[in-house]
Amino acid sequence: MTLAAQVGHIARRSVRRTIRQPANVIFPFVFPMALLAVTSAGLNPATKIPGFPTDSFLAFFLAFPFIQGALFATMNAGTDLARDIQSGFLNRLALTPMRGGALIAGQLAGIATMGFVQAVFYLSVGLAVGVHLASGVAGAAVLLALATVIAIAFGSLGAFFALRTGSGEAVQGLFPLLFVCLFLSSMNLPRNLIEIDWFRYAATANPVSYLIEGIRSLIITGWDWQALGLAFGIAAVLGLTSLAAGAWALRMRLTRT
Amino acid sequence: MNAEHGIEAEGLVRTFKGDIRAVDGIDLAVEPGEIYGFLGPNGAGKSTTVHMLTTLLPPTAGTGRVAGYDIVREGPKVRAAIGAALQEAALDNLLTGREHLRLQCALHGISRAERRRRSDELLDRVGLRLAADRKVGGYSGGMKRRLDLALALVHRPTILFLDEPTTGLDVQSRSALWAEVARLAREEGVTVFLTTQYLEEADALADRVGIIDHGKIVAEGSPSELKAQIGRPTVEAIPRDGTDPAAVARILEQFGEATGGSPKGVAVRLTHGVTDLAGIVRALDAQTIELEQLELHAPSLDDVFLAKTGRSLEGAGEEEEEPEPA
């Protein structure tokens, strides 16, 4: 059996088990939308700040759900994998001819699918409530691609934590940490408008800011190649580093001969 | 795949962090088509041995061959030849029984058409046809174990490893699983390596039994051979209320050495076997000692364990848990 076929089977299982857990479906779809509604209503006056890049806070803040959705992907991917380790399901898979890489790739393919579906939903809601996509139809395609890549990157991080610790609780412990990273980013204001120095420095040093700004650029600016390059680059570095670490952790865990 | 070979191991050792020697130089020779019972308390080294023989854990020392293949150098070939249902049914509660079987078939490279046929066949065989499309989370312990067995069989292995397959099951589920395991060995010639902490399981199923304690095999043979090594039966008397147990003990000890009995009883291992029983009854009667109960116990595998380790199998593992094979 080819590696691609193995990946396909594991990915199908990953998607199937995700959609069978209501919490895994409801939270990534509802929470980001609820936060989008509340925040954009409450912080709309911020658009009056001189230099604010758009007159719609909804459009400005629409980048946030894509990142929050990716964080949910981290937790779901990691928790599911940790559950496989704890239940012995990983050993069952290890006794088949399945290649180690297929396990991670399959899990990530499932995450990518969910990440893509979530992104389509967020974008559809945004367009439905009147957000104009400055980069047009092609920009929508790039936005969906970027959101999927970010979901894969965070999913890889969750998979690494799961494989390293074998504990769903440890993976869930990662979520608040990543959430803090999200709040210490440029999600609410452009970095140049953050007046508190330490916050601005933190947001500038925080890679999550650049992921948000990449998505945001497609929504409110058009084609900002620097922002897009940084977002894709950071997602790729995070994803590849986590993937390499995950592959190492899998080798440590799967001691089959 | 090689059906002419069973399981062989020489000097198999596995140590864990902290210098824990979970398996300490085990030698095994399991013939093709044989049901080999690996009996021992919790923490004796049973699961670690299974993890090594199924290639999930490399041995620290020693060699092993399963289905004719080296467990270290030919892991993939070993895995292709074996099926395994490890301790605790390793299932995904969110998938159905049928989905489990289809996934397992797919990962073993079975074609799509054959997957459907093989899954249906195995669901029928383990009696899960009606529950096939229910999520496994709603299965009983017995149903999970039966599915676990079916999953181990999808690629028609010649050797089957079952790690405590009936732990926690009710009597009915246990009997059903025993019947299927026995059928696999007798009708399909599958070699079965079965670990258990249940004496009656080893007694009922196994052609040969290896008793493991503290990582070493302390006795090996057919259940009848092992019991014959102990040889002599025990007799246990439970005095009626008001009867002095010491008086009962004095009489019984004329016929053999004292051994462990129930808390209210007095037990001895008979020096001359069953023929002593008549003498005991006569001696007790002559002293007008009244009993609640008088029982003759044939030697059991627990007696064998007791004789070899100085401890009873029941509760022997409570003081130590087997380390996680990681």
pLDDT tens, N- to C-terminus, chain B (326 residues): 446 789 999 999 999 988 889 999 999 999 999 999 998 888 889 999 999 999 999 999 999 999 999 999 999 999 999 999 987 778 999 999 999 999 999 999 999 889 999 999 999 999 899 999 999 999 998 899 999 999 999 999 999 999 988 887 888 888 888 898 999 999 999 999 999 888 888 888 999 999 998 999 998 998 888 877 766 788 889 988 888 888 899 999 999 888 776 778 888 888 887 788 889 999 998 988 888 899 888 777 777 777 777 777 666 655 444 455 44
CATH of the domain at B305: 3.30.70.980
Q: Is residue B317 part of a domain?
A: no
CB–CB of B92 and A13 under 8 A?
yes
Q: Is residue B2 part of a domain?
A: no
CB–CB of A92 and B103 under 8 A?
no
Q: Does B75 share its domain with B113?
A: yes
Q: Is residue B88 part of a domain?
A: yes
**Beta-carbon count within 10 A of A140 CB:** 19
Q: Does B194 share its domain with B66?
A: yes
Residue of B nearest to A9 (CA): B103
Query: Half-sphere exposure (CA, 13 Å, Cβ side) for A104?
Result: 29
- Which residue range forms the structural domain that includes residue B248? 228-309
Cα–Cα distance for residue pair B107/B94, rounded to 1 Å? 18
Name every chain B residue with its beta carbon within 8 A of the beta carbon of A251: none
Give the residue among B166, B185, B140, B161 at the shortest CA–CA distance from B54: B161
Give the residue among A186, A10, A211, A6 at the shortest CA–CA distance from A98: A6
Number of domains in chain B: 2
Which pair of tokens denotes residue A212? Answer: 């948000």
Alpha-helical regions (H) of A51-135:
57-61, 63-87, 89-94, 100-128
Q: How do the pLDDT tens digits run along chain A, 257 residues long?
A: 788 899 999 989 988 988 898 888 888 899 999 999 999 989 989 999 999 999 999 999 999 999 999 888 778 888 888 998 888 888 888 899 888 888 888 888 888 888 999 999 999 999 999 999 999 999 999 999 999 999 999 999 999 999 999 888 888 888 888 889 999 999 999 999 999 999 999 999 999 999 999 999 999 999 999 999 999 999 999 999 999 999 999 888 887 77
SS3 state at A150: helix
DSSP of B210-234: EEEETTEEEEEE-HHHHHHHH---E
Q: Positive or negative CA dihedral for B127, B128, B129, B131? A: positive
Q: Nearest CB to B76: which of A1, A92, A97?
A: A97
Q: Does B150 share its domain with B57?
A: yes
The reported pLDDT for the residue numbered B244 is 85
Q: Does B205 share its domain with B82?
A: yes
Which residue's entry shows tokens 């001696």?
B283
Q: What is the pLDDT of residues B71-85, one digit of tens each?
A: 999 999 999 999 999
Strand order in the sheet with B7-16: B20-30, B7-16, B61-66, B69-70
Q: Does B150 share its domain with B275?
A: no
The last residue of one of the domains, among B200, B221, B242, is: B221
Residue of B nearest to A98 (CA): B107
Using a CB–CB cut-off of 8 Å, the residues of A that contact B are 1, 5-6, 9, 13, 16-17, 20-21, 84, 87-89, 91-98, 253, 255-257
CB–CB of B326 and A1 under 8 A?
no
Which ipTM was obtained for this model? 0.83
The reported pLDDT for the residue numbered B325 is 47
SS3 state at B85: strand
Q: Does B121 share its domain with B212?
A: yes
Phi and psi for B120 in degrees, rounded to 5? -60, -40
What H or E segment, with its residue span, contains residue B7? strand B7-16
Q: Does B300 share its domain with B178?
A: no
- Per-residue burial over A228-253, b if 16 or more Cβ lie within 10 Å, else e, is bebbbebbeebbeebbebbbebbeeb
Q: Does B106 share its domain with B211?
A: yes
Which pair of tokens denotes residue A234? Answer: 């950071």
Q: Is residue B177 part of a domain?
A: yes
B90 touches chain A (CB under 8 A): yes
- Closest approach of chain B CAs to the CA of A15, in angstroms? 11
CB–CB of A253 and B326 under 8 A?
yes
Q: Nearest CB to A95: which of B84, B92, B94?
A: B84
CB–CB of A257 and B92 under 8 A?
no
Q: Is residue B314 part of a domain?
A: no
Cross-strand pairs, A3: none
Q: Is residue B325 part of a domain?
A: no
- Closest approach of chain B CAs to the CA of A251, in angstroms? 11
Q: Positive or negative CA dihedral for A88, A92, A98, A99? A: positive
Q: Is residue B318 part of a domain?
A: no
Q: Does B214 share its domain with B108?
A: yes
